[in-house]
Structure 1
Amino acid sequence: MTEMMANADAPHSILTFVCSTRQEGHGGDEMRPDGPAYSLQILSVPPDHHPGQIERPAFGAPDPQHHIMVVSTHEMSEDDFRNQLATNISGRIGSNRDVLLYVHGFNTSLDAARFRLAQIVTDGRFGGIPVLFTWPATNSIFDYEAAREAATASRDSLANLLKDLSEVPDIGRIHILAHSMGTWLTMEALRQRAIAGSPSLNGKLGLVMLAAPDIDLSVFRSQLSELDASHFSVLISADDRALSLSQTLAGDRPRVGALDPRKRADRLALARLGVKVYDLSGKSDGLIDHDAYADLPDVVRSIGAQIGRQRIQDQDVTAVLGQRPVDTQVTAAPLPSAGASAIPAGGNAPTDGKSASPQAGSTPAPPSAVPAAPAASVQ
């Protein structure tokens, strides 16, 4: 009993694979001139961690009992990276063979990216292997265009990482969580793999979650045309002030993540995409509301429950957040445990031809908990 209590009071270690196009020694703001760097890092989460929080010291050195921190970093070659992944996956069963690839967004430091991943893995109770792709996102909100160029320059490296992951022996599903400008980078890399003949990553592509996607709506349609939309979930918020600024910088072009399902035109545009859409508007107390996907503990738990749920013979590649739509109209349904609205695509069936059932143990919120968007036929 004493030993169990001691373990409960110990920091939780998370083995994390990292692929980076950031130039070391330059604040992470410049591209590496000789291709991406690979490393194996151990991150530590404190025993008193609070869901939705990234515990960091106000000043001084971090304390592993109270702060998320980096314990160690081991640099390696790309070959070693692949071999270590294969070694860590070998012997695992079920969803523990899965990978969660996290691609951060604009104005995100290396520390912020890896600590966010550690928080998501912990809050979502993910039992597979976390992988971080980090790129020169700059550390200033005034360098938006520079970050966009860095994201463009990082596309090949991310596409190559996806290829490497898909070829790891015994790997399960490759789930992807991307945020903000990182969603554009992710879609471009997936599109490249599709053009190269592997849109499903050798049949390994799992759930692709795009949180607050900073992507022009017409661009997203074009990217998605090369891919199977049934794998994709989009988390949006009409309250996202960061995306409002992005839309202004982009010549007032609508961003996917800031579409408002309460507006009929936006609701129809979202439905025609064929993806699962979850509205987090009004669910966050934050001023900017750009990180609601990770700041809301119930949302992260719902994500973790879906990507980590048991599969019969590992054949369920159409796992989605919440319930699969079965009708041809735009409706609203709560995200399990989160109270966010889901706007399903009209009439899209899963690729395996089976009806998806609600997650075991989840209880849908009553209709009054989330104002339903008026139903509208999709033409």
Structure 2
Amino acid sequence: MSPSRKRKASTSEPLVEPSRREPLRAHLLGWYDRQKRDLPWRRTRDPYAIWLSEVMLQQTQVATVIPYWERFLQRFPTVEALAAAPLPDVLAAWRGLGYYSRARNLHRAAQEVVARFGGKLPSTAAELLCLPGFGRYTAGAVASIAFGEPAPLVDGNVARVLSRLFEVEGPPGDRAREARLWALATGLVPGERPGDFNQALMEHGATVCRPDSPLCLLCPVREECLAYRHGRVDELPPAKVRAAPKRMTLAVAVWAHEGRLLLARRAEKGLFGGLWELPAAEVDGETPDTTSATRLAEALGTPVTVHGHLGTVRRQLTHRALSLRLLRVTGSARPSHAPAFRELRWCTPEEASSLGMSTAMHKALEAAVTAGALRE
């Protein structure tokens, strides 16, 4: 390569010109100082509490997260307390938030923080990325908000704001689009208060630069927005095409004995990993009772007999349309362990309701008891 070509390759223009970058940062930070919502995790500098909020806020609305965040911190006030807790207790505190892999990864990461970092969360995005559950977004959020590192982040709100400000083309998920958004975020975050700037981007996307009916007249960076200037705010970003939810049917064993029901805890992986449930096995939508009995017998490691139906509970998850078919079953021997589950336990409904159980399975438990499951 000639010297002239080397010089050309090494002197690329910045993606965000300083003459545009500085007004954007100043206007967004000023707006954030005036208009930010008073959220409890914004009143703390505790990296653990900030990390917890970022994990809970993934795929979950702020109003839902606030009481969970407060209760979780009361029960597990430090990284050490979370690391020392049994996973079922952590999952029980998480019940109702969904996406239970978040709780499992949070627990594993807390254990690693204690083992590898003496209970102190690493302060850089690069180190945080080595922990379970930390992707590029979460690492950037914690590093910038808790530790002041100029680490970029891009979530759905930030992607929308940057797409409109810089007129970024392409559908959500497109690799070239995502790379450009991250490059823009990287170019904007250096400067004073990087954590507040990242929060300003997210707050702006959540409250002003909304997906529908954006409040452009209240936007502090309207004059710098290319989509606004060109009349394309409603076009950018284009709507994400969502796949139809997959149908999933579970045969659920409702096995009663002397006022107690059989409960099982799943292995710590998969959709309901680590959670307690009425023992269940996946079946086809029209599976006959004899086949359901066979699947449940395989899961429990003992023959079972189906004695009738107690109803069906349906729940709409993000990617699945879930049907829980409640089957009253008995067997010649009451199992104490099973090949498909980590643990079995016979519980009263009250005892069962305190276990780490998905909302869908909790509804199934309630439906089974209401339908007379304990009448043997």
**TM-score tier (shorter):** under 0.3
Provide TM-score, normalisation by structure 2: 0.23
**Is the helix fraction higher in 1 or 2?**
2
